[in-house]
Structures are given as structure tokens and as C-alpha cells.
């Protein structure tokens, strides 16, 4: 069963939960980390942004899943997170 519940509290957010794994959109995560307007702020490098994402994942028991649009699957992301023993997955469509 999928439970949709966009919530932001205590630096945790989820768009939905499926089989005990919270699905988190990378854009919403970056907004939580860097605040409104992060997408137009070009002062951060790709490496700084990725470091922030991975740091959040490590601190919050989350898996990171990124694929191009043709290979992207929310269900595959959730499966990978479950296999890794994680309670959340941050998803990023690289297209």
C-alpha cells in the first residue's frame, strides 16, 4: 500500500511511503537543506550539492537512487533501499 504524505519536520520529508520505505524527491530535499531559491543559486558546486545530499542520506538512514528518465523507476529505488536495509530513498531523475 502506498501512503502519500508530504511532510517536512525535523529535517525529514517524504512524498509517500511504500512497504516501509519513505520516498523523497531530491528537489524537495535540497529545498529543505538550502532553503527556498536553491535552484537559482549558482554559488554551490555540483560536488557541494552532492556532498549535502549524501550527508543527509548518511544521517537519516536513506539510500540514494539516481537514473536517467529511461531507466528511472520509483519501485526499483524502493527495492534497492529495502535490500540495503534503509528506511528512506532519495530519488533523482538525471534527465
What is the spatial distance between Cα 28 and Cα 11, in angstroms, rounded to a whole number? 11
Give pLDDT, residue 10.
Answer: 33
Residue 52 is part of which domain span?
2-93
If one counts the domains in the chain, the total is 1
Burial 16-48 (b: 16+ CB within 10 A, else e): bbbeebbbbbbeebbbeeeeeeeeeeeeeeeee
Give pLDDT, residue 23.
Answer: 92
Give pLDDT, residue 12.
Answer: 54
What is the spatial distance between Cα 80 and Cα 62, in angstroms, rounded to a whole number? 11
Give pLDDT, residue 11.
Answer: 41
Residues in the chain predicted with pLDDT less than 50, given as ranges, are: 1-11
Give pLDDT, residue 1.
Answer: 39
Give pLDDT, residue 92.
Answer: 94
Chain position carrying cell 520516498: 23
Amino acid at each position: 500500500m502506498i501512503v502519500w504524505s508530504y511532510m517536512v519536520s525535523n529535517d525529514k520529508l517524504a512524498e509517500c511511503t511504500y512497504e516501509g520505505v519513505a520516498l523523497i524527491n531530491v528537489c524537495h530535499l535540497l529545498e529543505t537543506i538550502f532553503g527556498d531559491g536553491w535552484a537559482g543559486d549558482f554559488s554551490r558546486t555540483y560536488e557541494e550539492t552532492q556532498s549535502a545530499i549524501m550527508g543527509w542520506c548518511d544521517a537519516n538512514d536513506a539510500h540514494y537512487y539516481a537514473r536517467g528518465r529511461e531507466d528511472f523507476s520509483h519501485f526499483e529505488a524502493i527495492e534497492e533501499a529495502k535490500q540495503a536495509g534503509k528506511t528512506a530513498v532519495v530519488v533523482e531523475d538525471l534527465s
